[in-house]
Amino acid sequence: MLEKRTDGYHNIETVFLRIGWHDELRFHASETLKMTCSDPELPVDERNLCIQAAKIVMGDVDLGVHIHLEKAIPFGAGLGGGSSDAAVTLVACNKMWGAGLSSTDLAAYAAELGSDVPFFLGSAVALGRGRGEMLGALPVPNALIDRFLAVIVPNTKVFTSEAYSGVQPNAESRIDLRELILEGELSDWRRHLVNDFESGLLGRYSEIREVKEHLYSSGASYASLSGSGSAVFGVFDSMDSAEACCARLPEGYRFWVGPALI
């Protein structure tokens, strides 16, 4: 976290990584714009980013589509599930309706929907600056080659506003994040790569702190909060060790295990 901006947002520096945990979206021709979802707790009205994305592409023209979301990624966990769904909706509706929006147009609309939505239109690894919407594609980090991830979501919910309120911005004496990600080993990440949200959240939420401790005690070479949480991920040398870690989780915790790079 670098600094708070005059518009109420924060300037950040972060790294985005696409993983294999995904939702499934289906788009069907319809006379009206409507949405259904496999998870009854998720709103499917104007509060949903998919509906907002479709309306942006629609513009002033009265068009319709039935969007069905098979929800797999836990929402409100700092994993970008809703943002990735919105990005896919932009692309799908642009194609379905023949709106003719360019990649530049789509990126601009994505930034209106959310700071991390533009990432899901681009490369699998990216450095994010500004609100997170200013992206620079990154090569594959050496530290993640032939490595595996365990991503764990405890039963704790963290509101983004709460996470930001607990961070003290600091733009000075910061590491070169790009160099650390691309050239550092996991041991370097463990010493120097810190999610600034952790300082306020790990002390407040014992479940999140215990998940991170569990990842390390299970053999993770590096572990960190994902975004503003509550998900925590660990990097492992083998799929077996990542799966064994998740097999020992408390009941009700959701998780995903897979290759670090896709």
The CA–CA distances, whole Å, from 48 to 67, 201, 204, 247 equal 11, 26, 29, 33
Query: By mean pLDDT, which of 25-39, 70-84, 131-145, 203-217 is the weakest?
Result: 131-145
- Digit-coded pLDDT (tens) for 32-64: 999 999 999 999 999 999 999 999 999 999 999
Helix/strand/coil for 256: strand
Top pLDDT among 157 and 22 is at 22
Distance CA 189, CA 205 (A): 23
Measured in whole angstroms, the distance separating CA 186 from the mean position of its chain's CA atoms is 21
Top pLDDT among 172 and 24 is at 24
Identify the structural domains of the chain with CATH numbers, from first to last. Answer: 19-121 (3.30.230.10), 142-259 (3.30.70.890)
Beta bridge partners of 172: none
Beta bridge partners of 236: 148
| Residue 1: pLDDT over 50 | no
Mean of pLDDT values over 23-28: 98
Mean of pLDDT values over 105-118: 95
CA geometry: angle at 253 spanning 187 and 152, to 5°? 20
Which segments of 153-238 does DSSP mark as H helices, in order? 160-165, 177-183, 186-192, 198-201, 206-217
Helix/strand/coil for 63: coil
The CA–CA distances, whole Å, from 26 to 21, 36, 168 equal 17, 10, 41
What 189-196 contacts at long range (C-beta under 8 Å, 24+ apart), as own/partner pairs, is: 189/143, 189/222, 190/221, 190/222, 193/222, 193/224, 194/224, 195/224, 195/225, 195/226, 195/227, 196/1, 196/167, 196/170
Distance CA 41, CA 50 (A): 15
| Residue 79: pLDDT over 70 | yes
